[in-house]
């Protein structure tokens, strides 16, 4: 029983960061109607930048958020301005292929610089855990879950209260109407892509605390992000949080009851089911 409970707790904690990692994808889709396959690239870049800052300067992964958030925003806005914007009138699949190209290039550059070996980032508290009743809870997972929730909260406030957030929501709702009421739609697009990418890169920082660092990191978590976003409803923050937690718990239960090797299959099956069922509802 205690085993099952600790599996559930760990699933919930991981699920929170899943939701945080996925939200950028939903935001970009909501505002630009673009499926950002470069999301995987930003996740991976986040992990590597964090790992490198730790290896070279001993910077704590949580401190490196101060680097990955602005860097992610800048790189995301750059990709939008220089590439995505050119295809604004093309069918959505072309943008998907374009961003897929970006991801392939980033992956290759990371292989060239760092090689394909798995690396890991160990801090003083990486292996710490504390007792909560009969359960042993891993400290880094709690920290990451808390940061993810904080990130969600900040973003929710930004979208609700700030003018930029209002503009973002307006463009997501109706691009034409937003443009007619004087909202600079082009700039809003770049900002949305920037925020989405900043979320992805900072998620990489957080996740470096308990996942190994490889150029394939993004491949694994890009599809989980899709799964969460599709299951939760593209820009619905509450839905995405619930979906992230559900996926985290489902994966941990699968690993616990069946085989750890099947952990990643869960997300793919859920992804396909969610896509098929949700689209069937909406037509």
Partner 1 sequence: MTVFGGRRPAWRLWALAVLAVALAAPILVANPYTSRLSQLLFLNVALASAWNLIGGFAGQISFGNSSLFGVGAYATAMLWLAGVPPLLTMPVAAAAAAAYGAAWGWPCLRLRGPYFAIATIGVAEATRIAVNQFDPAGGASGLTLPIEQDAGGGALYVMGAVLALGSVLVSDRIRRSRLGLGLFALREDAQAAAASGVNVARQQVVAFAIAAALTGLAGSYYAQFTLYVVPEKVFGFDLSISLVLMVLVGGIGTVAGPILGAAVYLILEQFVLASLPDIHLAMFGLLLMGIVLFEPGGLAPRLAQAGSGARSLIRRWRRPGGTS
Which of residues 75 and 227 has its CB atom nearest to partner 1 in the complex? 227
Scan residues 26-45 and list those touching partner 1 (CB under 8 A): 35
Q: CA of 3: how far to CAs of 6, 205, 262, in Å?
A: 5, 29, 19
Sign of CA dihedral 100, 103, 109, 112: negative
Q: Looking at 91, 122, 182, 281, which residue binds partner 1 (CB under 8 A)?
A: 91
- The reply to whether 83 sits near partner 1 by the rule CB under 8 A is yes
Least separation in angstroms between CB 248 and partner 1 = 18
Q: Which of 109, 137, 139, 253 binds partner 1 (CB under 8 A)?
A: 109
CB 63 within 8 A of CB 206: no
When the beta carbons of 16 and 36 are compared against partner 1, the nearer one is 36
Q: Does 259 bind partner 1 (CB under 8 A)?
A: yes
Judged by CB under 8 A, the stretch of 8-16, 87-95, 141-149, 159-167 that binds partner 1 is 87-95
Q: Is 107 in the site for partner 1 (CB under 8 A)?
A: yes
Count of residues interacting with partner 1 (CB under 8 A): 41
DSSP state letters, 2-66? HHHHHHHHHHHHHHHHHHHHHHHHHHHHHHH----TTHHHHHHHHHHHHHHHHHHH---TTTTHH
Looking at 8-16, 62-70, 169-177, 268-276, which segment touches partner 1 (CB under 8 A)? Answer: 268-276
Torsion region of 128: left, alpha or beta (phi above 0 gives left; psi -120 to 50 gives alpha): beta
Which positions from 136 to 165 touch partner 1 by CB under 8 A, shown as an x/- string?
------------------------------
Least CB distance to partner 1 at residue 171 (A)? 19
- In the complex, minimum distance from the CB of residue 119 to partner 1, in angstroms, rounded to a whole number: 19
| Rounded Cα gap, residues 245 and 9, in angstroms | 10
- List C-alpha distances in Å: 115 to 27, 100, 150: 32, 21, 34
**Strands 129-132, 135-138: pairing kind:** antiparallel
Min separation Cβ 64 and partner 1, Å: 26
Using CB under 8 A, which of 77, 226, 240, 241 touches partner 1? 226
Backbone angles phi, psi at 60, to 5 degrees: -70, 140
Q: At what angle do helices 237-257 and 263-282 cross, to 10 degrees?
A: 140
> Is 52 exposed, middle or buried (CB count within 10 Å of its CB: 0-12, 13-18, 19+)?
middle
264 is an interface residue for partner 1 by CB under 8 A: yes
Q: Least distance (Å) from partner 1 to the CB of residue 270?
A: 9
Q: Which stretch binds partner 1 (CB under 8 A): 101-109, 154-162, 193-201, 206-214?
A: 101-109
**Whole-angstrom distance, CA of residue 214 vs CA of residue 202:** 16
The binding site for partner 1 (CB under 8 A) comprises 35, 83, 86-87, 90-94, 96-98, 100-105, 107-109, 111-112, 219, 223, 226-227, 230, 259, 261-262, 264-265, 268-269, 271-272, 275-276, 279-280
């Amino acid at each position: 029983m205690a085993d099952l409970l600790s599996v559930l707790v760990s699933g919930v904690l991981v699920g929170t960061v899943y939701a945080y990692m996925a939200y950028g994808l939903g935001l970009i889709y909501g505002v630009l109607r673009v499926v950002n396959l470069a999301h995987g690239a930003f996740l991976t870049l986040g992990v590597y930048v964090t790992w490198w800052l730790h290896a070279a300067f001993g910077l704590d992964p949580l401190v490196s958020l101060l680097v990955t958030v602005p860097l992610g925003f800048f790189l995301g806005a750059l990709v939008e301005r220089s590439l995505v914007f050119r295809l604004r009138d093309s069918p959505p699949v072309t943008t998907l292929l374009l961003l897929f190209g970006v991801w392939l290039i980033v992956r290759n550059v990371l292989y060239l610089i760092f090689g394909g070996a798995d690396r890991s980032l160990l801090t003083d508290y990486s292996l710490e855990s504390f007792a909560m009743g009969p359960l042993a809870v891993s400290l880094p997972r709690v920290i990451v879950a808390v940061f993810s929730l904080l990130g969600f909260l900040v973003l929710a406030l930004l979208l609700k209260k700030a003018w930029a957030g209002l503009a973002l929501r307006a463009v997501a709702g109706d691009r034409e109407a937003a443009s007619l009421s004087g909202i600079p739609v082009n700039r809003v697009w770049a900002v949305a892509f920037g925020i989405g990418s900043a979320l992805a890169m900072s998620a990489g920082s957080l996740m470096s605390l308990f996942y190994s660092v490889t150029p394939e990191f993004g491949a694994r978590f890009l599809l989980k992000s899709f799964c969460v976003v599709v299951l939760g409803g593209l820009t619905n923050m509450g839905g995405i949080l619930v979906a992230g937690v559900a996926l985290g718990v489902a994966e941990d239960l699968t690993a616990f009851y069946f085989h750890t090797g099947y952990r990643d299959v869960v997300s793919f099956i859920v992804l396909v089911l969610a896509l098929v069922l949700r689209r069937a509802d909406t037509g």
